[in-house]
Amino acid sequence: MCLSIPVKIEAIDGVQAIGELGGSTLKVRLDLLPDTLVGEYVLLHSGFAIERLNESDALNTLSLLQEIMNDEMD
């Protein structure tokens, strides 16, 4: 099973970008989504942006992932 996570794109330099997740920055490759813009959310898998998400869907997914993590910690 593979997992991708929503990441907000903060900066772009060619096909390389910086994404933000929970206050941490991540390197993101945009080879598969070269038209991505700063401020957009993408699904990140193995360092590659594989799909764009609207903000509502991204925040909902992040909330669900946080809920799962909190349940696992209990």
CATH at residue 61: 2.30.30.140
The mean of the pLDDT values for the chain is 94
Is the pLDDT score of 70 beyond 90?
no
In the prediction, which pLDDT does 57 show? 96
Those residues with Cβ within 8 angstroms of residue 11's Cβ, 6 or more apart along the chain or in another chain: 17, 18, 38
Q: pLDDT tens digit string along 22-50?
A: 899 999 999 999 999 999 999 999 999 99
Record the pTM. 0.89
What is the structure's pLDDT at 2? 79
Per the structure, the complete domain to which residue 40 belongs is given by: 5-73
Domain count for the chain, please give it.
1
